[in-house]
Amino acid sequence: MSSRRTDSDSEPLVRVSGLTKHFDNSSGLLGSYEFAPDGLSFPFTHSPETVRAVDGVSFEIERGETLGLVGESGCGKSTLARVLLQLLSPTDGDIHFQGENLAELSSEALRQRREDIQMIFQDPQSSLDPRMKVGAIIEEPMEAHGLRDAAGREQRARELLESVGLEPQYYDRYPHEFSGGQRQRINLARALSVDPEFVILDEPTSALDVSIQAQILNTLQDLQAEFGLTYLFISHDLSVIRHISDRVAVMYLGELVEVGDVDRLFEDPRHPYTQALLSSIPVPDPRSRGTRSVLHGDVPSPIDPPSGCRFRTRCPDLIAPAEYDIPDGEWADVRELIRAVDRRSFDADSVSEIQDRFLDGRLSDDRCQEIVVEAIEHTVADEWERATELLRTEFAERSVCAESVPTLDSVADERASERRVACHLHETGTN
Ligand SMILES: Nc1ncnc2c1ncn2[C@@H]1O[C@H](COP(=O)(O)OP(=O)(O)OP(=O)(O)O)[C@@H](O)[C@H]1O
């Protein structure tokens, strides 16, 4: 453990509250201008677009633990990492590191903090200058921060090579002489050379063969124990996240939707998005099949995310609008119909046939029955968009999931482990 680890030991190492990063996509991009219809005269409107990459994210990381951050591509994981690393300034929110608000630090204090927070990227090649020898690569951050004399830096570099599972004599070799896994080990040695407290690992094993991945993960765990490190481990690969994490934060479209202890979260995922992600993990036994549908469709644009719960447009558990008196089983049938119309996944020959296929008789709520029949009639008339629109405005947009933003609240867990979920299904009184 580092000698700096003395003050504010009761504080989590990292405390992030309401962290937000929006990108203004308009700068220099013609894409945000709408041109006059003749295509010749000066653009008459300008609509700057805001990419809501990270939106009000709060979490803590305790000293010595690994928080796994998981989510599909484009959900904001790398942006969050870059803001934590101070490579990007937040639009809003606070980052407390060792009890200090990074936004309030002097530039000298911030420089010191930069030493304490290091990052490992996916591509082990990109951060290794091919013209520099391994020793110089590892020593560079120490030199930049004025740590040790030349002999001390060399000794440290050789020690670190050993710590990360390489030979000390590799000190005099060039990066091209190493495999991908070995290069990632060199990156680790380089990051550890300044004795950081906190290491952010952004898909550190994604570019490596599966057999090498496991070795690097094991080395990361050994290094964590040896140096008392705290990790934020970012990956879209759930098996890697399960292997390495103590706790897991699940991110969707710029927001956290579930946070919990790794074993509990994998055994008993609560958020429909976490459930869908887990059900999409390939299972070794081809005969065993998940009971839930995997994720359909793409992640919506962070420029115009869905209202309310951002996952609702893909959620298999969308809550029925309160204004309809519709039993759960009937609502499940309606949801199935909505999805099928969305995907145009059936032949629309006759209204009664489609009704029989999706519904178990007439719906008990008259208004729901009317809407469903009208939508089916549209499909039979080959007016799929009108059907989709009708089902969207009469059902999806009237759900609490569309009308109100769920907050990331604690939910009861039978093993009393920490669990926070942002889903209306789990709000007190709903479930
Ligand atoms: N500099 C930028 N300017 C505008 N938009 C950006 C910028 N950087 C990222 N984005 C957008 O922010 C959203 C989040 O991107 P980010 O790279 O953080 O996601 P991610 O979860 O890390 O994805 P991946 O796993 O593919 O790297 C995306 O829609 C991305 O296009």
Is pLDDT at 301 greater than 90 in this prediction? yes
User: pLDDT tens digits for 121-145?
Assistant: 888 777 789 999 999 999 999 999 8
H or E element that contains 224: helix 210-227
C-alpha distances (whole Å) from 241 to each of 97, 237, 298 are: 23, 6, 22
Signed CA dihedral, 291, 68, 236, 24: sign only: positive
Q: Which ligand 1 atom lies nearest to the CA of residue 76? A: 18
Signed CA dihedral, 103, 104, 110, 113: sign only: negative
Question: For 299, which DSSP code?
Answer: P
Alpha carbon distance 95, 90 (integer Å): 9
Note the pLDDT of residue 126: 75
Is pLDDT at 355 greater than 80 in this prediction? yes
Is pLDDT at 28 greater than 60 in this prediction? no
Q: Which ligand 1 atom lies nearest to the CA of residue 82? A: 18
User: Measured in angstroms, how far is the CA atom of residue 400 from the centroid of ligand 1?
Assistant: 28
User: Measured in angstroms, how far is the CA atom of residue 425 from the centroid of ligand 1?
Assistant: 29
Note the pLDDT of residue 287: 53
Q: Interhelix angle for 150-163 vs 180-192, to 10°?
A: 130
Contacts of 339 (CB under 8 A, 6+ apart): 296, 316, 345
Residue nearest to atom 2 of ligand 1 (CA): 23
Alpha carbon distance 3, 192 (integer Å): 15
Q: Is residue 77 lining ligand 1, measured as CB closer than 6 Å? A: yes
Other CB atoms closer than 10 Å to residue 82's CB: what's the count?
18
Q: Is residue 51 lining ligand 1, measured as CB closer than 6 Å? A: yes
Residue the block writes with tokens 């204004």: 323
Q: Which two tokens stand for residue 175?
A: 């990066």
Q: Is residue 125 lining ligand 1, measured as CB closer than 6 Å? A: no
For ligand 1, pick from 20, 77, 91, 252 the residue to mutate: most ligand atoms within 8 Å of CB: 77
Is pLDDT at 379 greater than 80 in this prediction? yes
Contacts of 54 (CB under 8 A, 6+ apart): 19, 20, 21, 76, 79, 80, 83, 254
User: Measured in angstroms, how far is the CA atom of residue 15 from the centroid of ligand 1?
Assistant: 22
Question: For 298, which DSSP code?
Answer: P
Sheet holding 230-235, edge to edge: 117-120, 198-202, 230-235, 66-70, 247-252, 255-261, 419-421, 409-410
Q: Which ligand 1 atom lies nearest to the CA of residue 81? A: 18
Note the pLDDT of residue 290: 47
Note the pLDDT of residue 239: 92
User: pLDDT tens digits for 304-340?
Assistant: 999 999 999 999 999 999 999 999 999 999 999 999 9
In terms of Cβ atoms closer than 10 Å to its own Cβ (0-12, 13-18, 19+), residue 47 is exposed
- % of the chain surpassing 70 pLDDT: 88
Q: Which two tokens stand for residue 405?
A: 């933003």
Residue nearest to atom 4 of ligand 1 (CA): 23
Closest CA to 205 of 176, 237, 174, 229: 237
Q: What's the average model confidence in pLDDT over 140-160?
A: 95
- % of the chain surpassing 90 pLDDT: 73
What pTM, to 2 d.p., does this model score? 0.88
Q: Helix or strand or coil: residue 360?
A: coil
Q: What's the average model confidence in pLDDT over 16-36?
A: 73
Is pLDDT at 413 greater than 50 in this prediction? yes
Q: What's the average model confidence in pLDDT over 181-206?
A: 95
Q: Is residue 302 lining ligand 1, measured as CB closer than 6 Å? A: yes
Quick check: 269 and 252 in contact, CB under 8 A? Answer: no
Q: Which ligand 1 atom lies nearest to the CA of residue 302? A: 29
Note the pLDDT of residue 123: 80
Going through 286-418 in order, the beta strands assigned E by DSSP cover 409-410
pLDDT band at residue 152 using 50, 70 and 90 as cut-offs: very high
Alpha carbon distance 339, 343 (integer Å): 6
- ipTM comes to 0.97
User: Measured in angstroms, how far is the CA atom of residue 100 from the centroid of ligand 1?
Assistant: 27
Is pLDDT at 431 greater than 70 in this prediction? no
Q: Is residue 235 lining ligand 1, measured as CB closer than 6 Å? A: no
Is pLDDT at 25 greater than 70 in this prediction? yes
